[in-house]
A and B are shown apart, each in its own frame.
Chain A
Amino acid sequence: MQPIYLDNAATTQVEPMVFEAMLPFLSDEFGNPSSLHPLGVQAKRALDRARESVARTLGAEPSGVIFTAGGTEANNLLIKGVLGGVLGGVLGRAGQKRPDPGKEPHVLSSKLEHASVLESLAVLGQDCRVEWVANDDLGMIDEKELLSRVGERTRLVTLLWGNNEIGSLQPAERLARAIKSKNPRTVVHFDGVQCVGKVPVRLRGTDIDALTISGHKIHGPKGVGALVLGRRVELNPLLSGGGQESGRRSGTENVAFAVALARAVELAKERLSEQVGLMARLRDRLEAGIRSSVSGVRLNGDPKNRLPHILSLSFEGVVGEVLLHHLERDGVYVATGSACSERKSEPSHVLREIGCDDGRARSTLRFSLSRRTSEEDVERALDVIPRVVEEVRLVVGELS
């Protein structure tokens, strides 16, 4: 029997239409967009059309779309690119003067961010003043505190729009508007990797300046994403080279994957209204089914403001990883924390930040759906989950 895949926040299966869209560029239409002959021109045209499509779908200008190798690179490019612009280049600036104390650029972010943001800010820590905005135990940013900290020198606010571990969904547009009203020059960035196809995502008509998206979370291939800019943002490139992507991301463009990303974004948007209600309904069914048949289950994240596809539950008295392998044995594939942090021995930083103790953090599983998840999948998972939790609790006994 096919396993029931409930780990779509880690990655998704490539949609056949996306796969087909990219195939020509892995065979006959193999040109380099920079070449001047017809093969190159064809490739350039495909790349331009992909760029236009992403821009149209997300409400941006084509010139604002920078294709990257994924969400991590897009976050790195935005953060280091924006702050590097202030500092005169993040890398290789030995001998240059540090900004005077008190005059460093000011950055606001939160402790709930993806590792690519946390680590990028850690690298820049010496040269900017990073402040972490508090969040509540549901994973929501403290809006008042955020706004009270936006000031004259605030160069960048970077936040996770929808949390990949617990699903909490920030009111991105409202936050952006409020930030801009305090300082119109602040760059407002949201990591929307989990949001595309799950909630309406648009830059035009909002005050969001920059958005990170990723292909493989929305039924596209791994290894492609984009930084989408809503207005002109001065960016120092991370990579030195041939000046592709208007000098902001050197390296021969990945035409096939850019085409795939565009198709994946289009499909995500086309199907948003019809699918999202269904996804949320299935997620609710899964949650209710588990909570009605298993004792000692607690929800992590905000029950109201949340993504429709992520469900994070703690199962009292069991180790998440042990439960995960027992579920996998019976054909249900889920995650413990986030896929990127699963192999760390430390429990998830997100769960810690929303006040889970180590025991609760370690007993957490994340179920994540996609538009390919069916009602039957959820019902079958519900046949397995309560039985397996009981089995594990019985074996593990008093030791948790």
Chain B
Amino acid sequence: MEHGTGTDLLVESDQDLKMSRILVRYGELALRGKNRGEYEKLLALNIKRMLADFEKVSITRMRGRLIIHCSGEVSEAMDRVCDAFGVHSVSPCFSVPAKIEAIRAEAVRLMGEELSERSSDGSGVTFRIQTRRAEKVFPMNSSEINRDVGSAVLDVYPGLKVKLKNPEIMVEVEVRTSIAHLYTKRLPGPLGLPVTSAGKVVSLLSGGIDSPVASYLAMKRGCEVVLINYHSYPFIGEASKEKVIALARRLVKYQPRIRLHIIPFAEIQKEVKRTAFESYRTVLYRRAMQKIAGRIASIEGALALVTGDCLGQVASQSLENLHCIGSATKYQVLRPLVSYDKTEVIDIARRIGTFDTSILPEPDCCTVFQPRRPVIRGVVAKAEELEANFDLDRLIQEAVEQREIVRLDCQGRESRRMADKS
């Protein structure tokens, strides 16, 4: 990979001109000062991993953008880059020698493609040419190039109309020292910050709709997400575990490598059921989950937990309960969905491809010994008192030791193993 030099790659050979190029604009990270280089490197690394199965991928940094060179199916590569957090927009980019004749011809060709997509001969369609010159060595200035290329396009498609503000088709031309890049399309990226740039978090993944979306949103803000799931075998079956792994498989699209820790949870639930009164069960399960997630956070070197909690979504998701549950851990608990309505969460879940898996009718551990009336206003002191009635620390230790770790990557590789006891 070539990045970090901050200079244009000099492209001269015909071979290089035949490679597909994708221009990537960053979002928010372009605003960063000193750290910008780090963010760019992470973005480039993430994209490189997403495109690991493409041949000859190289990524060049160019004045606040990345240019991806690759051979293979460019539209597939574009789709993937459009899922990389930190990307503002993506354009397929066509490169020609920095000669006005070549630029004119390429602009006419691109206009032809645009019009044929619209089944139009150009009549009444508005357009403009927008040129930028990086190096000012080109013999014409930007507005001269605009006019020259614009009239070449008009010669071929006389029905077109020039419109400077909000044209239907904008042909952008970037003139470098020896090469010019042209593009007409901009596909929106997912915004956010490059995954891993913010550090690591442990995200509690159930089989439901919310937690995959919460994990996704944590990734969006640059977190490297480690997933954790609680599996109450043999009260629920292997199929529930498969469902959670399937959800992780959906998320690997946005974070190229993911680890999922699956924690055996039945023994804790049995003890809670045996010793505590019914209404506190859910709160105690969730406090135990937070404590275990904290253990995993310290093993993983993560700095926060992420949950799919949404204030008031169900009666037991009260502020009191969030407090009572959150106080079981010293880690920050990030709750990206706290203010979302269910329908908004569902919209995101559909968009990111987790919804169809989430609604598969597999039970999760929360259905085990579900209380008929869970407590609405859990009290920390009460929860702690109930936890003192059994050896929670030992059960947590055992659960952590007996966890299974699933590793997934965006190329479809997957491995499972039991945690090493140490």
A associates with B: yes
Which A residues are within 8 Å of any B CB, using their own CB? 321-322, 324-326, 328-329, 343-345, 395-397, 399
Contacting pair B237 A324 (CB below 8 A): yes
With both beta carbons as reference points, the residue of chain A lying nearest to B372 in the complex is identified as A399
Interface flags for B271-305 (1: CB within 8 Å of A; 0: not) read 00100000000000000000000000000000000
Interface flags for B212-224 (1: CB within 8 Å of A; 0: not) read 0000000000000
16 contacts between A and B (CB under 8 A): A321-B237, A321-B363, A322-B234, A322-B235, A324-B237, A325-B233, A325-B235, A325-B237, A328-B234, A328-B237, A329-B233, A329-B234, A343-B362, A344-B361, A397-B273, A399-B369
* SS class, residues of chain B in contact with chain A: loop
CA distance A399 to B278 in the complex (A): 10
* Count of B interface residues, CB-CB < 8 Å: 11
Interface flags for B225-241 (1: CB within 8 Å of A; 0: not) read 00000000111110000
CA distance A326 to B273 in the complex (A): 18
B323 within 8 Å of A (CB atoms)? no
CA distance A326 to B236 in the complex (A): 9
Complex interface: chain B residues within 8 A of A329 (CB)? 233-234
With both beta carbons as reference points, the residue of chain B lying nearest to A329 in the complex is identified as B234
**Within the complex, what minimum Cβ distance (angstroms) separates B104 from chain A?**
53
CA distance A329 to B233 in the complex (A): 9
With both beta carbons as reference points, the residue of chain B lying nearest to A323 in the complex is identified as B234
**Within the complex, what minimum Cβ distance (angstroms) separates A266 from chain B?**
35
Contacting pair B236 A325 (CB below 8 A): yes
Contacting pair A345 B361 (CB below 8 A): yes
Contact A326-B270, Cβ < 8 Å, known A344-B361, A399-B369: no
New A-B pairs, 11, CB < 8 Å, besides A321-B363, A325-B233: A322-B234, A322-B235, A325-B235, A326-B234, A328-B234, A329-B234, A343-B361, A343-B362, A395-B273, A397-B273, A399-B369
Complex interface: chain B residues within 8 A of A344 (CB)? 361
CA distance A399 to B270 in the complex (A): 12
CA distance A320 to B281 in the complex (A): 22
**Within the complex, what minimum Cβ distance (angstroms) separates A160 from chain B?**
25
> Which of B236, B270, B362, B363 is close to A395, meaning CB atoms less than 8 Å apart?
B270
**Within the complex, what minimum Cβ distance (angstroms) separates A335 from chain B?**
12
**Within the complex, what minimum Cβ distance (angstroms) separates A256 from chain B?**
30
Contacting pair B234 A325 (CB below 8 A): yes
With both beta carbons as reference points, the residue of chain B lying nearest to A319 in the complex is identified as B235
**Within the complex, what minimum Cβ distance (angstroms) separates A301 from chain B?**
25
Q: Which of B233, B235, B270 has the most CB of A within 10 A?
A: B235
**Within the complex, what minimum Cβ distance (angstroms) separates B4 from chain A?**
51
Complex interface: chain A residues within 8 A of B362 (CB)? 343
**Within the complex, what minimum Cβ distance (angstroms) separates B365 from chain A?**
12
**Within the complex, what minimum Cβ distance (angstroms) separates B238 from chain A?**
8
Complex interface: chain A residues within 8 A of B270 (CB)? 395
CA distance A343 to B359 in the complex (A): 12
CA distance A251 to B363 in the complex (A): 39
Complex interface: chain A residues within 8 A of B233 (CB)? 325, 329
4 tightest Cβ-Cβ pairs between the two chains A and B: A325-B234, A329-B234, A326-B234, A325-B237
Complex interface: chain B residues within 8 A of A343 (CB)? 361-362
**Within the complex, what minimum Cβ distance (angstroms) separates B259 from chain A?**
26
Complex interface: chain A residues within 8 A of B235 (CB)? 322, 325
**Within the complex, what minimum Cβ distance (angstroms) separates A137 from chain B?**
28
Interface flags for B384-410 (1: CB within 8 Å of A; 0: not) read 000000000000000000000000000
Complex interface: chain B residues within 8 A of A326 (CB)? 234
Complex interface: chain B residues within 8 A of A324 (CB)? 237
CA distance A324 to B240 in the complex (A): 14
Complex interface: chain A residues within 8 A of B237 (CB)? 321, 324-325, 328
CA distance A397 to B273 in the complex (A): 9
CA distance A183 to B144 in the complex (A): 92
**Within the complex, what minimum Cβ distance (angstroms) separates A346 from chain B?**
10
With both beta carbons as reference points, the residue of chain B lying nearest to A324 in the complex is identified as B237
With both beta carbons as reference points, the residue of chain A lying nearest to B371 in the complex is identified as A399
With both beta carbons as reference points, the residue of chain A lying nearest to B266 in the complex is identified as A395
CA distance A395 to B237 in the complex (A): 17
CA distance A344 to B362 in the complex (A): 9
Complex interface: chain A residues within 8 A of B369 (CB)? 396, 399
CA distance A313 to B234 in the complex (A): 20
Complex interface: chain B residues within 8 A of A345 (CB)? 361
Complex interface: chain B residues within 8 A of A321 (CB)? 236-237, 363
**Within the complex, what minimum Cβ distance (angstroms) separates B236 from chain A?**
7
Complex interface: chain B residues within 8 A of A397 (CB)? 273
With both beta carbons as reference points, the residue of chain A lying nearest to B233 in the complex is identified as A325
**Within the complex, what minimum Cβ distance (angstroms) separates B276 from chain A?**
13
Complex interface: chain A residues within 8 A of B361 (CB)? 343-345
**Within the complex, what minimum Cβ distance (angstroms) separates A344 from chain B?**
7
CA distance A329 to B270 in the complex (A): 17
**Within the complex, what minimum Cβ distance (angstroms) separates B353 from chain A?**
21
**Within the complex, what minimum Cβ distance (angstroms) separates B278 from chain A?**
8
Complex interface: chain B residues within 8 A of A395 (CB)? 270, 273
**Within the complex, what minimum Cβ distance (angstroms) separates B233 from chain A?**
7
**Within the complex, what minimum Cβ distance (angstroms) separates A345 from chain B?**
6
CA distance A325 to B234 in the complex (A): 5
CA distance A396 to B270 in the complex (A): 9
**Within the complex, what minimum Cβ distance (angstroms) separates A22 from chain B?**
30
**Within the complex, what minimum Cβ distance (angstroms) separates A397 from chain B?**
8
Q: Which of A321, A325, A345, A399 has the most CB of B within 10 A?
A: A325
CA distance A246 to B235 in the complex (A): 51
